Amino acid sequence: MIVSKEKLEKYAQTVLVHFGETKENAKIVAESMVRADMRGVTTHGTYLLEVIKKRKNGQQLTLPTTVSVVYDQDAVALLDGNDGIGMVGGHKALDVAIEKARIYGIGMVLLRNTNNVGTLSTYTQKAADQGMIAFMCGNAAPSMAPWGGMEAYFGTSPFSVGIPVPGDTCYNADMAATVVARGKIRKALRQGKEIPAGWAQDENGAPTTDPAKAMKGTLFPIGGPKGSAIAMTIDIIAGLLSGSNYARSVKSFHILDGRTGLGAAFIVFDPVRFMPRKTFDKKMDGYIEDVKSVKLAEGFTEIMLPGEIEYRKEKESEKFGITIDEQQYENLKKLLVEAGCPVE
């Protein structure tokens, strides 16, 4: 199914307002979800509306979302997402961090007690669009063992960096500290295929290529102990230090098992403090041209910048409409009927 950006945003907004979200908040959430769909990151797109409904009905998500300022002084602030929708708390936190970066050169905001914030790239790209360099990370429900262990303890621990670049491209790194997402293992299981060595270990802590065993076990971190240390650091800063849940106490957004208690961290700084905008733009332009001129390895046709694949996909979706899975579109239509606004 192909839907236009405007229509999908309107649909999502209508559904969210029906759930009990404010119009203003619903707009932020809808834009964030639709951007994820446009970028092909459908796991963080309008599909999440179903999950939000389930959590709201199960009293494990509070609507309308309110965001409280717990602490705000100098270049740092601490916000509380009050168990509302993650995109609302996330965008508020990012805005505060950007404002602080304008005033102090760098700003840091921690957000606690929130829910799934969606794709991190939508935040760091928003900051980059305003000329800022932004770093963001968040903890997540346990799926990775600490290095040397075999019990799920850290989440996928996503982190993202956005850097402003001139021209029709983007610089937006957005990754998990695990080698792959659980979804890839689930897909291999469905297709009856083995998974490559190095993706996961079974429930007894032995490396496995059997997707069924891997699903019962834990995901491997990138670079072994390195990814484990990255995940632990993210969990401590975004979770423990923000006053949120952390480690084993973080709950999945997709299962009704109590409030998720997710935390996120935002660090934004202004590159103009270090060199004039024009110089920075010119240097970045040269950098991109140079890195793309590197001789290609076997099987590659182009050196891509971080996030460039998603950026191109987004531009395509803008032009030709957004591809939505049939089943998901049916679900969306049902939600619209419930909201009293059936699709015309």
Q: Which of 302, 326, 340, 344 binds a copy of itself (CB under 8 A)?
A: 302
Choose which of 7, 54, 82, 147 interacts with a copy of itself (CB under 8 A).
147
Binds a copy of itself (CB under 8 A): choice among 23, 216, 226, 334: 226
Q: What is the largest CA-CA distance in the chain?
A: 57
76: tokens are 């740092």
Our finding on whether 304 is near a copy of itself (CB under 8 A) is yes
If DSSP codes are grouped into helix, strand and coil, which group holds residue 189?
Answer: helix
Tokens at 36, concatenated = 């994820």
Contact status, residue 143 vs residue 176, Cβ threshold 8 Å: no
Report the nearest approach of a copy of itself to the CB of residue 162 (Å).
Answer: 10
Indicate the residue among 190 and 295 with the shorter CB distance to a copy of itself. 295
> Looking up tokens 């459908």, which residue turns up?
42
User: Is the distance from CB of 11 to CB of 329 less than 8 angstroms?
Assistant: no
189 touching a copy of itself, by CB under 8 A: no
Which range of residues in 26-34, 48-56, 288-296, 325-333 is near a copy of itself by CB under 8 A? 288-296
Residue ranges of the alpha helices (H) in 39-111? 48-57, 86-104
Is 8 a residue that touches a copy of itself (CB under 8 A)?
no
Q: In angstroms, give the least distance from the CB of 217 to a copy of itself.
A: 10
Residue with tokens 């389930």: 54
Residues 320 to 339 in contact with a copy of itself, rule: CB under 8 A: none
Among positions 34-73, residues that touch a copy of itself (CB under 8 A) are 71, 73
Q: Which stretch binds a copy of itself (CB under 8 A): 4-12, 61-69, 204-212, 335-343?
A: 204-212
Residue 137's DSSP bridge partners are 159, 265
Of 1, 10, 54, 173, the residue at the interface with a copy of itself (CB under 8 A) is 173
Closest CA to 217 of 240, 193, 195, 249: 195
Within residues 228-267, the interface with a copy of itself by CB under 8 A covers 229-230, 232-233, 236-237, 240-243, 246-248, 267
Rank residues 19 and 246 by Cβ distance to a copy of itself and give the closer one.
Answer: 246
- The least CB distance from residue 338 to a copy of itself, in Å, is 40
Query: Min. distance of Cβ 242 from a copy of itself in angstroms?
Result: 7
- Cβ closer to a copy of itself: 248 or 334? 248
Q: Which of 215, 255, 256, 303 binds a copy of itself (CB under 8 A)?
A: 303
How far apart, in whole angstroms, are the C-alpha atoms of residue 115 and residue 93?
13
**CA–CA separation, 294 and 291 (whole Å):** 6
106 binds a copy of itself (CB under 8 A): yes
- The CA distance from 109 to 80, in Å, is 11
Identity of the residue numbered 108 = M
Contact 116, 61 (CB under 8 A): no
Residue 26 or residue 170: which is nearer to a copy of itself going by CB? 170
175 in contact with a copy of itself (CB under 8 A): yes
Q: Count how many residues are written for the chain.
A: 344
Question: What is the closest distance, in whole angstroms, from the C-beta atom of residue 222 to a copy of itself in the complex?
Answer: 3
> Phi and psi (nearest 5°) for 153?
-140, -55
Phi, psi of 235 (to 5 degrees): -65, -40
Q: Does 12 bind a copy of itself (CB under 8 A)?
A: no
